């Protein structure tokens, strides 16, 4: 058990980013920037149908095109045993379709050519004979007896059922609901959306035919896990695979899993004996890579008449698409959805989630969801507002009344989570003060008198990030612990090697700050190495806001190992007992005689010198560690959104957004704030404009930035941030994760605000996205229901 050290955090604070030095000069190195001698280019042929049998594929015209080196189909892969690959949910996914296609945009054939333009030409020349099949496009109807069976490739699969999973005490919850004064139910959809990083997915595979070593540059948030999976898929020995994740142009969960395109670049390199690059375009990215959400939820909330919340109950139909490739810890098929009790002290809770197959792309866990906590927080924060609507209560007062109190921590929830720390009322109070809450309500009342529509929305969330204790959490059997290695060079400069992989979150800077904080080294003297599996220790990568909780802890502890060793070296230098030394932030000195001391730099040189060390003490100043977290960290926040709604058009303008986040100790406040800004923009986007819908033939209706709308600078307000600091007691530096908090917490705040604005029209709930057309329809008395399938 580690403890939070009570001393000033010298390395922490606002420090400019090391990464920026190259990135503002256009000198980043992203996958599509990689050039290798003799490199070829691959392109995928994708299915125009959502569900169809493949009768035949004619590749002769494509193969005859000058510049084309090879065309690979599912039949070719079958011969190599590579037509199917394992997913992160113990299902399988087709690399290239052999029997039939199961979603629009699915991978059917792969062309390798001298350049990208030629590869695309050749894709057009492939003829596929498809036999269309009935499509399952509505998750709510996927389990009907006459629904076509999508996964007839699986021997025992007779329907589209994937799993049933539940958490909480059903009987106790039933009892609480049966005796409650008030019970309110609501159908709540969290629509299918997509993380849509600006850089799409891609890879460059280089199989060296002489050494048998594969080097793969790839857009991977989890390079070590990818290496292991490739070893399992392709049967390559793991020490002959080097995965390099270079600079990544945003990930947001979309670059956790392995996609057929990556596998095909490897196959392409094996087939041609040359390096093969594959980079998808935006439409391919939106149609085939990991979507997010798609939870059809039935929420119920029980309370007393005066607003004491007693219980929550949820039933979910989870649309997982055609292959269950959801990225989450093995024992949690619905991720961490069971934190849906949120920030409230309840008597009972229960959730039941049923996963189903549909004719859509795989995914589910992505887009800063912290393993389904976006859905959980949205559910509870909508249900609390639904209750406020029924009780005619102020949503802020209702929350304040039910929030967990500081003295209840550590708090065990009805579904078994042990929240580490929190001071919720303080955060909500701060947000309300920053917003001028009472004044806003007065302004709203005046505007309502004049017939103007203004709304104030609140969301209070508790996150659960930092997966996780390896006893409970693994991905494909790989425990979720992370390694760190630290070497101090003779001249006192350091190299830190970490297992997580930044995609813009600033790890090169903040991890150096952690080392600097522990050893008193200047941040500029610490190089952080990440993303290259030949150079970094094993670990599970960056997602679920786990970098700071897990790898950040490993970094602090490996630095403390160095500090302990430095103490022994210093004692030899000073010719005193180690017990007589004390640490002063950057040096060991003799207790009571601070003049007699050695800095970490002096010690580093001595550790590499001819200095006589005690028996059994190796020279040099290097250390490694593996951190197995005892628990997750539970950051929280209070968000308030203010909107104006145009009565004539239904257009929503987000006027203000106040966000108070508490992630414990802040390593670099500047970077935390940037993370929050980005997540708040996600929330505005999801609440007001983003959705991937499908028609009844399974056509994807959001496959480009023409239809899948992302917020620009004009839809985003100037964010107003606040903070409180409640450290995590079990984390070595008291820090909690934070990257996903704003994406998790903000959609409910925006939706609650819009519904508050149109309250005079009597709308209790409406599904995202609240487009002008949807809001306008609601004001005409039509319900706002976003169905992922267009009827």
Partner 1 sequence: MEVSININGTAETHDVEPRLLLVHFIREKAGLRGTHWGCDTSNCGTCVVWLDGKPVKSCTVFAAMADGHEVRTVEGLDQGGQLDPVQEGFMECHGLQCGFCTPGMLMTARALLDANPDPTDPEIREAISGQLCRCTGYENIVRSVRWAAEKEAGGPVTESETPVEAKA
90 binds partner 1 (CB under 8 A): no
- SS (HEC) of 24-72: CCCCCCEHHHCCCCCCEEEEEEECCCCCEEEEEEECHHHHHCCCEEEEE
CA distance 434 to 541: 36
* Half-sphere exposure of residue 217: CA atoms within 13 angstroms, side-chain side: 19
714 Rama sector, left if φ>0, alpha if ψ -120 to 50, beta otherwise = alpha
* CB of 738 closer than 8 Å to CB of 672: yes
Residue 33 or 564: the one with the smaller Cβ distance to partner 1 is: 33
Among 9, 18, 46, 565, binds partner 1 (CB under 8 A): 18
Least distance from partner 1 to the Cβ atom of residue 690, Å: 12
CA distance 321 to 357: 5
523 binds partner 1 (CB under 8 A): yes
Strands 581-583 and 587-590: antiparallel
Residue 6: count other Cβ atoms within 10 Å of its Cβ: 6
**450-469 mask for partner 1 (x: CB under 8 A)?**
--------------------
Q: Secondary structure of the chain: what % helix, strand, coil (to 5)? A: 30, 25, 45
| Residue located via tokens 């490993």 | 554
706 binds partner 1 (CB under 8 A): yes
What DSSP designation does 552 have? I
124 binds partner 1 (CB under 8 A): no
Which of 304, 204, 381 shows the shortest CA–CA distance to 747?
381
**718-737 mask for partner 1 (x: CB under 8 A)?**
xx------------------
Least distance from partner 1 to the Cβ atom of residue 287, Å: 12
281 binds partner 1 (CB under 8 A): yes
Which residues ranging from 321 to 340 are in contact with partner 1 (CB under 8 A)?
none
14 binds partner 1 (CB under 8 A): yes
712 binds partner 1 (CB under 8 A): yes
247 binds partner 1 (CB under 8 A): yes
CA distance 81 to 74: 10
Least distance from partner 1 to the Cβ atom of residue 510, Å: 12
What would the two tokens of residue 741 be? 């908090």
Among 270, 670, 701, 777, binds partner 1 (CB under 8 A): 670
| Residue located via tokens 């849509």 | 196
Least distance from partner 1 to the Cβ atom of residue 563, Å: 22
Residue 583 or 719: the one with the smaller Cβ distance to partner 1 is: 719
CA distance 174 to 313: 9
**476-505 mask for partner 1 (x: CB under 8 A)?**
---------------------------xxx
CA distance 236 to 337: 36
- SS (HEC) of 472-510: CCEECCEECCEEEEEEECCCCCEEEEECCCCCCCCHHHH
Residue 291 or 411: the one with the smaller Cβ distance to partner 1 is: 291
**679-698 mask for partner 1 (x: CB under 8 A)?**
xxx-----------------
Among 92, 476, 716, 777, binds partner 1 (CB under 8 A): 716
Least distance from partner 1 to the Cβ atom of residue 674, Å: 5
Residue 422 or 541: the one with the smaller Cβ distance to partner 1 is: 541
What DSSP designation does 503 have? S
CA 776 to chain centre: 33
37 binds partner 1 (CB under 8 A): no
Q: Measure the N-to-C terminal CA separation of the chain; round to a whole number of Å.
A: 56
Q: Which stretch binds partner 1 (CB under 8 A): 186-194, 241-249, 430-438, 472-480?
A: 241-249
Least distance from partner 1 to the Cβ atom of residue 537, Å: 24
User: What does the binding site for partner 1 look like in residue numbers (CB under 8 A)?
Assistant: 14-21, 23-28, 30, 32-33, 116-117, 196-200, 247-250, 252, 281-283, 503-506, 509, 522-524, 670-671, 673-681, 704-706, 710, 712-714, 716, 718-719
């Amino acid at each position: 058990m580690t403890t939070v050290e009570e001393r000033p955090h010298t390395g922490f604070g606002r420090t400019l980013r090391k990464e920026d030095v190259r990135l503002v000069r256009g000198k980043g190195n992203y996958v599509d920037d990689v050039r290798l001698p003799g490199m070829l280019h691959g392109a995928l042929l994708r299915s125009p149908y959502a569900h169809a049998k493949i009768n035949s594929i004619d590749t002769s015209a494509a193969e005859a095109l000058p510049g084309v080196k090879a065309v690979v189909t599912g039949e070719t892969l079958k011969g190599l045993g590579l037509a199917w690959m394992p997913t992160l949910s113990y299902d399988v996914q087709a690399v290239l379709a052999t029997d039939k296609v199961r979603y629009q945009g699915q991978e059917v054939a792969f062309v390798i050519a001298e350049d990208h333009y030629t590869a695309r030409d050749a894709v057009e020349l492939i003829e596929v004979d498809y036999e269309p099949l009935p499509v399952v496009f509505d998750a709510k109807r996927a389990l009907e007896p006459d629904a076509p069976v999508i996964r007839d490739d699986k021997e025992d699969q007779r329907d589209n059922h994937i799993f049933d999973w539940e958490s909480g005490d059903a009987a106790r919850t039933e009892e609480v609901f049966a005796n409650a004064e008030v019970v309110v139910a609501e159908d709540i959809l969290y629509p299918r959306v997509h993380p849509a990083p600006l850089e799409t997915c891609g890879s460059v595979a280089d199989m060296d035919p002489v050494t048998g070593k594969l080097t793969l540059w790839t857009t991977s948030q989890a390079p070590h896990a990818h290496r292991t999976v490739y070893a399992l898929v392709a049967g390559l020995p793991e020490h002959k695979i080097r995965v390099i994740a270079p600079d990544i142009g945003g990930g947001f969960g979309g670059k956790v899993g392995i996609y057929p395109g990556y596998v095909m670049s490897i196959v392409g390199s094996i087939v041609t004996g040359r390096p093969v690059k594959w980079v998808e375009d935006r439409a391919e990215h939106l149609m085939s890579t990991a979507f997010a959400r798609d939870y059809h939820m039935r929420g119920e909330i029980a309370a007393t008449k005066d607003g004491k919340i007693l219980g929550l109950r949820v039933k979910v139909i989870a649309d997982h698409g055609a292959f269950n490739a959801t990225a989450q810890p093995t024992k949690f098929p619905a991720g961490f959805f069971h934190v849906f009790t949120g920030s409230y002290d309840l008597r009972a809770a229960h959730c039941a989630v049923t996963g189903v197959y549909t004719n859509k792309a795989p995914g589910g866990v992505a887009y800063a969801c912290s393993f389904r906590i976006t859905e959980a927080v949205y559910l509870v924060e909508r249900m609390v507002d639904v209750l406020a609507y029924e009780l005619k209560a102020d949503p802020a007062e209702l929350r304040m009344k039910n929030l967990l109190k500081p003295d209840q921590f550590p708090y065990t929830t009805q579904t078994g989570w042990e929240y580490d720390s929190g001071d919720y009322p303080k955060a909500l109070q701060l947000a309300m003060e920053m917003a001028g809450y009472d004044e806003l309500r007065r302004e709203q009342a005046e505007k309502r008198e004049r017939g103007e529509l203004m709304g104030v929305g609140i969301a209070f969330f508790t996150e659960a990030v930092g997966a996780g204790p390896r006893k409970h959490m693994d991905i494909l059997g790989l425990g979720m612990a992370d390694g760190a290695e630290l070497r101090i060079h003779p001249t006192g400069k350091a190299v830190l090697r970490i297992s997580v992989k930044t995609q813009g979150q600033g790890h090169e800077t903040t991890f150096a700050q952690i080392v600097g904080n522990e050893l008193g080294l200047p941040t500029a003297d610490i190089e952080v190495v990440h993303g290259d599996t030949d150079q970094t220790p094993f670990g599970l990568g960056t997602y679920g806001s786990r970098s700071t909780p897990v790898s950040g802890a490993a970094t602090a502890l490996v630095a403390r190992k160095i500090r302990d060793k430095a103490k022994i070296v210093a004692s030899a230098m000073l010719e005193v007992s180690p017990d007589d030394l004390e640490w002063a932030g950057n040096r060991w000195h003799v207790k009571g005689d601070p003049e007699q001391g050695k800095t970490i730099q002096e010690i580093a040189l001595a550790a590499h010198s001819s200095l006589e060390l005690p028996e059994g003490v190796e020279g040099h100043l290097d250390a490694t560690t593996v951190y197995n977290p005892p628990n997750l960290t539970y950051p929280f926040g209070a968000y308030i959104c203010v909107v104006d709604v145009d009565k004539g058009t239904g257009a929503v303008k987000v006027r203000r957004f106040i966000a108070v986040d508490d992630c414990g100790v802040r390593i670099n406040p500047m970077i935390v704030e940037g993370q929050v800004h980005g997540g708040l923009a996600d929330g505005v986007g999801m609440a007001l404009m983003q959705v991937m819908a499908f028609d009844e033939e399974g056509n994807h209706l959001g496959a480009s930035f023409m239809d899948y709308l992302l917020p620009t600078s004009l839809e985003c307000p100037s964010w107003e941030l606040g903070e409180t600091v409640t450290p995590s007691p079990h984390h070595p530096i008291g820090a909690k994760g934070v990257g996903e908090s704003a994406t998790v917490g903000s959609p409910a705040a925006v939706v609650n605000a819009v519904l508050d604005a149109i309250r005079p029209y009597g709308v209790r709930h409406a599904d995202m996205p609240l487009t002008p057309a949807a809001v306008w329809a609601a004001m005409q008395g039509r319900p706002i229901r976003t169905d992922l399938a267009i009827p």
